[in-house]
Structure 1
Amino acid sequence: MTINLTVDLVLLTIRGGELQVLLIRRGIPPYQGMWALPGGFVLDGEDLPEAAARELREETGLDPQAGHLEQLATYGTPGRDPRGRVVTVAYLALLPDLPAPVAGSDAAGAEWRRYDEVADGGLAFDHDRILRDGIERARSKLEYTPLATAFCPAEFTIADLRAVYETVWQTRIDARNFHRKVTGAEGFVEPTGGTVIRDRGRPAQLFRRGPAALLHPPLMRPAE
């Protein structure tokens, strides 16, 4: 029995204050015309991260260096792909707001779609499951790592960062309490010395990501 290997990508960003996922409309069988996660077969002699980066460039025109990219999980349920025995390694990418993607040669289109519009299912293959796993990984990692800064530009305000948490967690967060926790977590953010004028003309302090790999103490999601 021949086993083929693919990579699939869960690419998340925040656009217009909404959590969005990058999807491609399949231009070839199987599932021609359906929305799916970007991805494809791993080439001979190609490492998995290389394949993920290549698929990102080929199917969307986006730069794999523009944000955070990590391996999510491996999926190999028999029958998940009608073309035969196919195992896929999924990657999770978190990106700051980017221009509209450009579909590759085997995709009929590529779009940023609101997560709440596609969360109920309807994607090709087992991509609904992979997307759900990617969303939960992102929500969990925001608790104990500085990963939320991957959605932000190089310099951001604490309010910008709070908006990321509120959007990904889909909840409201007390502004003063959040500011205290973020600035109190060692190495999470660092002041740049600059300010920016935002609401009602008040200057807001600018920050950048600090050196911490883990947050101590962590920022826990509000109880549902």
Structure 2
Amino acid sequence: MIVTMSRYDPSAFPPFAVTVDLVVLTVREHALCALLVRRGEPPFQGYWALPGGFVRPDEGLAEAASRELAEETGLRAHSTPGQGAAGAHLEQLATYGHPQRDPRMRVVSVAHLALAPDLPTPRPGGDASSARWAPVGELLGQTPADGVPLAFDHGKILADGVERARSKIEYSSLATAFCPPEFTVGELRQVYEAVWGVALDPRNFHRKVTGTPGFLVPSGGTTTRQGGRPAQLFKAGGATVLNPPMLRPDS
């Protein structure tokens, strides 16, 4: 089959750009936090925004998202839940393409969700003048009357990313992506509490996670980093789907 391009007129289609935006979530001081950067250039100069950037002509979407993640956090990405601190879990979230979402031109953003253990204070890169971790609870409750909203449509993207994380830890082992390679059941419970924004009964939680096949594997060690008696250390098991699932309680 011979394909001809002689009738194709590129001027018939207006050009547009493609970007990747990152919802980077971590748990800091028992709170779910998102990475924000303050824009140092127009548009929305001085506004807080999600990290991201334009997709380069020679790279794919996943490659662009991984590059932006490395530039903003220094982490390499993987796509398998339960990898601990080996890197950051990275998955495609959704595509956002409202014609007026960017005042510069038509820009379509392919957003990605990244999850990682407690991360250090970020350093700004690219056109960002500063960067910080912000508690998700404060960001999702923010309205224009409360203060300056996030740039572009990043408030919507952030809300979608947080809900994706909250729902996925119900039926997958994704919660372990917030944990170091070895962790206690109490530390894992703190992840669930931070992501869901609820308090969980320690005994019931311990029984559920240790009784779910393939979820956790004893590492053979113990720790006293939470104080009190030594606590058993676990590693993420091989299961990616939890059966039965960890149902989210009503907040």
1:63 corresponding residue in structure 2: 75
Normalised TM-score (structure 2): 0.86
Of residues 96, 100, 105, the one that matches 2:126 is 105
2:237 corresponding residue in structure 1: 210
Gaps of 5+ in 1: none
Quote how far apart the aligned CAs of 1:56 are: 2.1
Distance 1:200-1:125 versus aligned 2 partners, 3 A rule: closer
Q: CA RMSD in A?
A: 1.2
Gaps of 5+ in 2: 1-13, 78-86, 144-148
1:28 corresponding residue in structure 2: 41
1:141 corresponding residue in structure 2: 168
SS at match of 1:176: helix
1:131 corresponding residue in structure 2: 158
The whole-number CA distance in structure 2 between the counterparts of 1:208 and 1:156 is 7
Distance 1:125-1:137 versus aligned 2 partners, 3 A rule: same
1:1-224 aligned within 5 A: 1-58=14-71, 60-65=72-77, 66-119=87-140, 120-121=142-143, 122-198=149-225, 201-224=228-251
Distance 1:83-1:211 versus aligned 2 partners, 3 A rule: same
Distance 1:145-1:57 versus aligned 2 partners, 3 A rule: same
The whole-number CA distance in structure 1 between the counterparts of 2:73 and 2:197 is 29
1:146–1:214 Cα contact (<8 Å) kept = yes
The whole-number CA distance in structure 2 between the counterparts of 1:55 and 1:209 is 27
Give the partner amino acid of 2:222: T
Larger Rg: 2
1:62–1:101 Cα contact (<8 Å) kept = no
Give the partner amino acid of 1:31: F
Name the % identity: 60
Quote how far apart the aligned CAs of 1:199 are: 5.0
The whole-number CA distance in structure 1 between the counterparts of 2:125 and 2:88 is 20
The whole-number CA distance in structure 2 between the counterparts of 1:44 and 1:151 is 33
- Aligned residue pairs, count: 223
The whole-number CA distance in structure 2 between the counterparts of 1:103 and 1:200 is 35
1:10–1:37 Cα contact (<8 Å) kept = yes
The whole-number CA distance in structure 2 between the counterparts of 1:194 and 1:100 is 29
Distance 1:27-1:202 versus aligned 2 partners, 3 A rule: same
Give the partner amino acid of 1:145: S
SS at match of 1:201: coil
The whole-number CA distance in structure 2 between the counterparts of 1:185 and 1:46 is 40
Normalised TM-score (structure 1): 0.96
Deviating above 3 A after TM superposition, structure 1's stretches of 4 or more consecutive aligned residues are: none
